[in-house]
Amino acid sequence: MVVKNLILCLFISHAFLSVAQTLKFELSTTKVIVGERLELKVISDITGSVDIKTPKNFHYGSTEQSGMQQQLDHAGRFTVQISYVRDGYFDTPGNFTLGPVILRSGKKVLTSNTINVTVSKTPTVSEKEALSYSPRDLRKPAFGVIQPGKLKIYEGEGLVLESKVISRVTPDNMTRYRAYSIDGSVTTHEIGNPEEIKAGNERIAGLDWYTFTFDRKVSFFNKKGKYKLKPFDINLELDYSFFPVRSSAPTIEVLSLPDNKPKDFIGVVGELQLSTDFAAKSIEKGDILTFKLELKGKGNIQNALTPIVKIPKGWKEYAAPKPTSKYTFTEDGAEGILTYEYCFKCLTSEPSNWEPITVSYFDPKEGKYKTLKSGAVIFNGKNIVTADQKEPKGNPREMSKTSLVQQANTKEDDETLFTNPIFWLTIASIIVFALLIGILGKPKFKKRKYTALDYNQPYVASWNLVEVDLDKGEKSYQQGETSEAVQHIENALCKAISISLQLDYREFSVSAMAQSYLESSNNVQSQSMVKEFFYQCQLLRYGHGMNDQDWEHVKSLAENLLKVLK
């Protein structure tokens, strides 16, 4: 066995000695442009230290790798091939020589061939590219940019920002990301999945680049001024090494809104449409007129102020406007619907007419304020007959989006009761049925017990429903749905108040139910508790940064109020 191993070792050593030691130098191409990636490859059959002679205007990139292959050639000889790869680029045009490569292995020194390379000028950068990419960045194998939708915006306007890595090589991975940031009065919201990376290709300055975009957000700048963004940092991993990338840091200029703000401006910068919905068709003295004002649009609608409705003589605000909202953050800012419910009490026997409701917003595309106008509410005696349909000055197509109340049907029915054949057919059927009963006798039915229903009594909630809403609120909060959690606990207290006052909770809004309790109760302490509870709920629903302490506080207020109501 020892003899066989010795023979094998002698055979391998003989094979190595019988083959001449070689060193070869190769390039991926001999014609490149300034900044273009060039791959250098050294091939040899022995190991050792490698030194590649390069001119001063050549810069190494981040790629560096080595490998070894073992194989038998056509003559049956055992060979070993060792490769070493580096990449780099030239920063100036001209004709240059790369090499030779000097390989030192012990006392042996091998010298390779040289290769001539022609480097041409970088293609001209367009004006659009120059806004995002600097010539210095385009010389690098990879760089980063914070890509804004635009560099000048109005205060309150939403601006989309995203991180973008531009590379001449495809990284194996990207790690250690430190996000960009903005100092100042700015609120930021994520768009989609912030961890998703979208890969693509772009041709920039005549070169093909790999692009990677991520961390997409929409930011709202609340005050005028210049905002300097802080760059992001990330590492590109390439063959077990990494290339650090720091992005550019653009400056955003925020312009103030024009001074001629309308009195009905609600702070929205974007686009809006207006519509209204009146629930009642007739109003008498002492009745409550409830209507909804709906604003559909996009922009910074999450910061919209409650529209002010001018109250005519003979009316009184019955409850504070109740706002509800449903929106999501997109490239256009917050996009969705804002609904405001108003309640007013009629104080006169003949309701007075309402002037058109107006709401103003700022259109950043046209750089001016726009006013939405509804129709006027006209009363004919006690009935809401129609809305004033006179076209306001402006674009009729645009104004059609802001129509007010649906018109009541003023067409009279031409057919009377006595001219309807169905009426006489019904009378005849009743007479025939009565004659049959008289002839055959009254039919006998089995006696059954029925529960008597008094439809004059209101539908009052039960304490079990109160507990159900409290449980829903706790589950919603545990799932991170804070707004719904507050809504459930508010619903629970509304039902509890309806039990105390024997009211149908389905016919009252939250604010109306609270107002009903305040008007009927003589207990100053309980009145204070009701005001504090609903005030805290309002703060939590429309505020930011609700935490466990806030939730426990509002639950404690609810528990104390339930003890009083029970």
Contact between 308 and 323 (Cβ < 8 Å): no
Q: Which residues pair with 360 in a beta bridge?
A: 265, 371
3-class DSSP assignment, residue 233: strand
Residue 249 main-chain phi, psi, to 5 deg = -135, 90
Q: Which residues pair with 204 in a beta bridge?
A: 207
Sheet holding 94-98, edge to edge: 31-33, 115-120, 94-98
The whole-angstrom separation of Cα 23 and Cα 32 is 25
Reference 186, options 236, 240, 252; nearest CA is 252
Please tell me the predicted confidence (pLDDT) of residue 194. Answer: 72
Fold exhibited by the domain 2-120: Immunoglobulin-like (2.60.40)
H or E element, residue 255 = strand 251-255
Query: DSSP assignment of 436-482, as one string?
Result: HHHHH-PPP----------TTS-----HHHHHHHHHHHHHHHHTT-H
Count the Cβ atoms, other than its own, within 10 Å of residue 439: 7
Residue 218 main-chain phi, psi, to 5 deg = -115, 130
Please tell me the predicted confidence (pLDDT) of residue 547. Answer: 77
Q: Which residues pair with 227 in a beta bridge?
A: 252
Cα dihedral across residues 323, 329, 332, 335: positive or negative: negative
Contact between 352 and 312 (Cβ < 8 Å): yes
Query: In whole angstroms, how large is the CA radius of gyration of the chain?
Result: 40
H or E element, residue 503 = none
- Give me 214's structure tokens: 């991520």
Please tell me the predicted confidence (pLDDT) of residue 532. Answer: 82
Count the Cβ atoms, other than its own, within 10 Å of residue 429: 10
Reference 165, options 155, 173, 153; nearest CA is 173
H or E element, residue 350 = none
Residue 225 main-chain phi, psi, to 5 deg = 135, -175
Return the residue matching tokens 């809004």: 509
The whole-angstrom separation of Cα 481 and Cα 537 is 14
The whole-angstrom separation of Cα 197 and Cα 537 is 39
Count the Cβ atoms, other than its own, within 10 Å of residue 225: 13
* DSSP label of 21: P
Reference 346, options 386, 377, 373; nearest CA is 377
Cα dihedral across residues 194, 195, 196, 202: positive or negative: positive
Please tell me the predicted confidence (pLDDT) of residue 434. Answer: 59
Please tell me the predicted confidence (pLDDT) of residue 355. Answer: 87
Sheet holding 152-154, edge to edge: 152-154, 251-255, 225-230, 181-182
Q: Which long-range contacts (CB under 8 A, 24 or more apart) does 303-306 make?
A: 303/156, 303/220, 303/267, 303/268, 304/266, 304/267, 304/268, 304/338, 305/266, 305/267, 306/266, 306/340
Reference 142, options 125, 171, 108, 167; nearest CA is 167
The 10 Å CB-count burial string (b at 16+, else e) for 26-46 is: eeeeeebbbbbbbebebbbbe
Classify 127-255 by CATH class.
mainly beta
> pLDDT 10s digit of each residue in the chain, 566 long?
433 443 344 334 444 444 457 899 999 889 888 877 789 999 998 888 999 999 988 988 767 888 887 776 666 666 778 888 998 888 888 999 999 999 998 888 999 999 999 988 766 556 556 556 777 787 777 899 998 888 899 999 999 999 999 988 788 888 889 999 998 889 999 998 877 889 998 888 767 789 999 999 999 998 899 999 999 999 988 765 678 899 988 899 999 999 989 999 999 999 999 998 877 678 888 888 888 999 999 999 999 999 998 888 999 999 899 999 999 999 999 999 999 999 999 998 888 888 889 999 999 999 999 999 887 888 877 677 545 433 333 333 333 333 333 333 333 344 455 556 666 666 766 676 656 555 555 444 444 443 343 444 556 778 888 888 899 888 888 887 777 788 888 888 888 888 888 887 766 767 677 778 888 888 888 888 888 888 777 666 544 456 788 888 888 988 888 888 87
The whole-angstrom separation of Cα 123 and Cα 205 is 5
Reference 150, options 159, 139, 162; nearest CA is 159
Please tell me the predicted confidence (pLDDT) of residue 102. Answer: 93
The whole-angstrom separation of Cα 460 and Cα 454 is 13
The whole-angstrom separation of Cα 97 and Cα 111 is 15
Residue 483 main-chain phi, psi, to 5 deg = -65, -45
Q: Which long-range contacts (CB under 8 A, 24 or more apart) does 515-523 make?
A: 515/318, 515/319, 523/564
Residue 98 main-chain phi, psi, to 5 deg = -105, 135
The structural domains of the chain, with segments of one domain joined by +, span 2-120, 127-255, 268-402, 463-565
- Give me 441's structure tokens: 């006798």
* DSSP label of 103: E
The whole-angstrom separation of Cα 483 and Cα 489 is 10
Classify 268-402 by CATH class.
mainly beta
Please tell me the predicted confidence (pLDDT) of residue 266. Answer: 94
Domains 2-120 and 268-402 share a fold: yes
